[in-house]
Amino acid sequence: MRKITEISKDSITVKVMFDAEWQEYRCQLYVEAHHQGEKTDYHTDDKQDAMDTAKAMLKEAEGKEHLHTLKKGDIVYNSWGYDQTNVDFFQIIKCTKCFVILRPIGKMECTDGRMAMTGHVMPRKDQFTSEETTRHKAVFWRGRNIVTVRHGGGCKWDGEPKRVSSYA
């Protein structure tokens, strides 16, 4: 197959390809460089139809859920709380197309001062705090990997310390 063009917005790309064997154009949807599968492909023998469809696919893909791009070993965090900010870290131990298996991991805490009730936390990869594993739905939505966890939605950790606070 030969690439005719590609259009992108944020982490979503639609490629227009030409398949010489079948004499057809194919629009393919990618999220974070991962092809979303043949079921999302569009086939036509008309080049202009393919170009118009690629634009429509890109527009439609924005704001929709897609297959997640998480992998084994990635760290997911969830920030939650009322009158304080808690952060939980999890490590992905297995992935499927729509789910991830998580296991809680420890964290390193650093306060902002001796009497401070604020600080930062960082995950401790491979330092599991429990044998328990749990299965969670995972999607790619609005430019981020989202995992449903106990207190809402968790995100793939970006490598930055996360802010925490405590109350009395």
Counted residue by residue, the chain has a size of 168
Distance between CA atoms of 92 and 68, rounded to whole angstroms?
13
CA-wise closest residue to 5 among 37, 28, 24, 21: 28
The contacts found for 14-19 with CB under 8 angstroms, 24 or more apart, are 14/54, 14/55, 14/57, 14/58, 14/61, 15/54, 16/50, 16/51, 16/54
Q: Is the separation of the CB atoms in 61 and 12 below 8 Å?
A: yes
Cα–Cα distance for residue pair 78/134, rounded to 1 Å: 15
Q: Tell me: the pLDDT tens digits for 126-154?
A: 999 988 888 888 877 766 788 888 777 88
Extents of the domains making up the chain: 2-62, 75-165
Do 135 and 101 form a contact (C-beta atoms < 8 A)? yes
* pTM greater than 0.85: no
**Residue 144, beta-bridge partner list:** 141
- Give the pLDDT band (50/70/90) at residue 111: confident
